[in-house]
Amino acid sequence: MPQCQIFTLAEIALFRKSGAILRGCLDFLAPRAVAGIPTLELDRLAEEYIRSHGGIPAFKGYKGFEHTLCTSINEEVVHGLPSKRVLKDGDIVSLDCGVAYEGIITDACVSVGVGPISTEAQHLLDITKKALDAGVAAVRGGCRVGDISSAVQKVVEGGGLLCVSALTGHGLGYTVHQYPDVPNIGKAGTGATLPVGTAIAIEPIVTSGKRDAIIQADDGWTLSMADGALSAHFEHTIIVTERGCEVVA
């Protein structure tokens, strides 16, 4: 049976450095997601920021992916490809990014509104971020993955929304995705046990639609809601500690 990787203090220090670059990058990008900017320009800015701060874009080259960011707009759920498409007022866009630093990878995402957005879109962003916070608060050494999943699900469904069930968080380390998966739907007290020193990405992916069927675009990457409903995505990389966790990105 697979086991969670437990990282040394030296490796956790590298997670902190990787995460600081990534969090700085997303903080830099979010206010630049404005009407009129092409998502390809956000991608260029992200790569420039990461490399200038000593990191390497972790997504670039992963399974043939050619970009630093995933930029998913409105009904696009995840893995949206940066392009010449420009953002417009009323859009919501997720900025999903990864950084490698001396081999250690962190992964994080923020979703932001472009100019004035609808009440529905703002509610979606607020609930998804609240769900991420609830998932993080459920972590401590020896907890089960289902504790996180249940906490996320309760917030999302309590807000009248749905988790996109096919997409999950995951373990992190020297690869972008590793054991264990961290679903956004589940039962407390079930799933893999998370030892102190484990690194995971918690990432609620939420839709305002009535169902969570997704379709893949012809580009081979972009996943969108089949019913055209809005979706949002927030993500932290965390290190499990004895009494909780440390958010590193």
pLDDT in tens, 24-70: 999 999 999 999 999 999 999 999 999 999 999 999 999 999 999 99
Separation of alpha carbons 192 and 186, rounded Å: 12
Structure tokens at 42: 């956000």
| Closest residue by Cα to residue 75 from 203, 217, 204 | 217
Alpha-carbon distance values, 201 to 120, 122, 182, 204, 244 (Å): 26, 24, 8, 10, 15
pLDDT for 1 beyond 80: no
Query: Is 79 part of any domain?
Result: yes
Q: Which residue has the tokens 């407390």?
A: 188
Reported pTM = 0.97
Measured CA to CA, the distance from residue 125 to residue 113 in angstroms comes to 8
For residue 178, what pLDDT is reported? 96
Number of folded domains that form the chain: 1
pLDDT at 77 over 90: yes
The answer to whether position 144 is within a domain reads yes
Catalogue the E-assigned strands of 54-91.
56-57, 69-73, 76-78
CATH code of the domain in which 159 resides:
3.90.230.10
In a domain, 245, yes or no: no
Is 195 part of any domain? Answer: yes
pLDDT of 134 strictly over 80: yes
pLDDT of residue 2: 84
CA atoms within 13 A on the CB side of 71: 29
Domain of residue 68 covers 9-239
